[in-house]
Amino acid sequence: MRVEPKTGEKLISVVQAEDELAAVGMAIGAGWAGARAMTSTSGPGISLMAEFSGLAYYAEVPVVIFDIQRIGPSTGLPTRTSQADIGFVYTLSHGDTKHIVLLPGTVEECYELSRDAFDYADRFQTPVFVLSDLDLGMNLWMTPEFKYPDRNFDRGKVLSKDDLDRLAGEWGRYQDVDGDGVAYRTLPGTDHPAAGYFTRGSGHDEMARYTESADAYARNMDRLARKLETARQALPAPVVDEAGGSVGLIAFGSTHAAVIEARETLAEAGRPVDYLRVRALPLSDDVAAFVGRHEHVYVVEQNRDGQLFDLIRLALPAGLVGRLRSIRHYNGQPIPAAAIIDPLMDREAVPA
C-alpha cells in the first residue's frame, strides 16, 4: 500500500542493514531528519544497539525500537522465549539513561502500542522501546479485530519556518520553554537561517553549543529527568482488575495469558486474586497504590532475577516493600499457569 502502482515509487523505505548497529543508526538518522522510523531486534541485537540508544536519548532524537525478547544471556536459547531484557532495556546505554518502555500483553496491544510508540517518540523526542517476546511475537494467537485509530498523529514540538519567523529566530534547541522538559526542535531542510543547530552526543547547553560546563551538564540531565516524568504521566496506565481481595498479582507482557488462567483456577479454589498489568516504564503511580491496597502482591515474570520485582521495589515507599513477593519462570518455555498457582498457593497456605 506504500508503492505507487504506476511509477513503482515508494512512500516507505525498508533497508536490510548490515547489522544492528547500522539498523538503529539508520532509524535514528531518519528520526533526526523528521521521518518516523523504527527497527526491530532480539537477543544480542539489543546489546549492539546500546551505544546508539544513548546517543538518541542524550541528543533527543525520536526512534522506535522493538525488542522481541528471547532467552539470553549471549546467544542463549535463540528459539526460546523470556522477559529478561526489561531491566537492561530500561537503562540501555552507559551513563545516566532511562527510556520509555512499552509492554504490550496481547496481540491487540502489540498493534496499539506499536502505533502509539511513534507518537510518544515524536512527542518526547527520545527512543521508545516496545518489548514483546518470542511467545507473543512469533507464536499463533487469537485476537479480536484491531480497531481503527481514534486519534491523529502527534508529531510533537517541531518548529516550522513560520514558527521561526514569528519567534524572530530566537529559540534554543534544548530550552525548556514549557516547563515539561520537552524542548522544541527543527528539522534539517527548514528554510530559515536560525533553523540549523548542531546535534551531538557530547555535552551541550540550551543553545545546542558544545560545553563542558558542570552547571550546563547538570541542568540538561535534570531536564531530561523532568521530560521522562512528563512522559510517565502520559504513558498507558496499568490495567487493573480488582475485587477487593487481600492478595494481588502484578505481571506484564505475555505472562498475561498464564495469569488469566491462574486467576480462574485460583478463584475456583476459593482463592481469588486481584491483578494489575504493567504496560509501560517508567512505572505509573497506580502500581504503588495497588500494592498499598493488598497484604501480599506477587510479581510474576519470565526471568531469573525478578527484574520487574526489583524495579517496583525501587519505586515503592519503604513501608510497602515488604508486601512484595516474586514469582519467576525462566526455562525458555512460555510460563504455564501452574508456575503461578503452585508457588502462590504454597506461600499463601495457612500453616496446619
Tell which one of 170, 191, 215, 268 touches other proteins (CB under 8 A). 191
**256: alpha, beta or left, given left = phi > 0 and alpha = psi -120 to 50?**
alpha
Q: In the numeric block, which cell numbers belong to residue 298?
A: 506477587
Q: Restricting to residues 170-189, name those near other proteins by CB under 8 A.
A: 186-189
Site string for other proteins, 147-166 (x = CB under 8 A): -xx--xx-------------
Q: Does 304 bind other proteins (CB under 8 A)?
A: no
Which amino acid, one-letter code, is at 6? Answer: K
Check: CB of residue 298 under 8 Å from CB of residue 326: yes
Beta pairing class for 100-102 and 127-133: parallel
Q: Does 55 bind other proteins (CB under 8 A)?
A: yes
Q: In the numeric block, which cell numbers belong to residue 157?
A: 514540538
Handedness of CA 324, 237, 36, 166 (dihedral sign): negative
- Total residues at interface with other proteins (CB under 8 A): 57
Side-chain half-sphere exposure of 290, counting CA atoms within 13 A? 30
Q: In the numeric block, which cell numbers belong to residue 270?
A: 476459593
Shortest CB 18 distance to other proteins, Å: 4
Tell which one of 73, 95, 177, 210 touches other proteins (CB under 8 A). 210
The nearer residue to other proteins, 26 or 337, going by C-beta atoms, is 26
Measure the CA–CA gap between 107 and 110, rounded to whole angstroms.
Answer: 5
The nearer residue to other proteins, 44 or 343, going by C-beta atoms, is 44
The nearer residue to other proteins, 84 or 183, going by C-beta atoms, is 183
Which range binds other proteins by CB under 8 A, 1-9, 120-128, 234-242, 245-253? Answer: 1-9
The nearer residue to other proteins, 75 or 202, going by C-beta atoms, is 202
Write down how long the chain is. 352
| Spatial CA neighbour of 143 closest among 180, 96, 104, 117 | 104
The nearer residue to other proteins, 191 or 215, going by C-beta atoms, is 191
Q: Does 212 bind other proteins (CB under 8 A)?
A: no
| Spatial CA neighbour of 284 closest among 239, 325, 321 | 239
Q: Does 95 bind other proteins (CB under 8 A)?
A: no
The nearer residue to other proteins, 73 or 169, going by C-beta atoms, is 169
Q: What are phi and psi of 64, to 5 degrees?
A: -115, 130
Shortest CB 349 distance to other proteins, Å: 45
Tell which one of 37, 64, 68, 300 touches other proteins (CB under 8 A). 37
Q: Does 51 bind other proteins (CB under 8 A)?
A: yes
Which range binds other proteins by CB under 8 A, 132-140, 142-150, 240-248, 334-342? Answer: 142-150
Shortest CB 279 distance to other proteins, Å: 23
Helix pair 214-234, 107-124: axis angle to 10 deg: 140
| Spatial CA neighbour of 121 closest among 33, 62, 185 | 62
| Distance of alpha carbon 307 from the chain centroid | 15
Residues 6+ apart with CB under 8 A from 70: 42, 43, 76, 77, 78, 79, 80, 81, 82, 133, 134
The nearer residue to other proteins, 141 or 330, going by C-beta atoms, is 141
Tell which one of 73, 166, 178, 200 touches other proteins (CB under 8 A). 200
Which range binds other proteins by CB under 8 A, 7-15, 77-85, 251-259, 344-352? Answer: 7-15
Rounded alpha-carbon distances, angstroms, from residue 189 to 172, 199, 207, 271: 17, 14, 19, 62
Q: Does 47 bind other proteins (CB under 8 A)?
A: no
Binding site for other proteins (CB under 8 A): 1, 3, 7-13, 15, 17-19, 21-37, 51-52, 55, 145-146, 148-149, 152-153, 186-202, 210
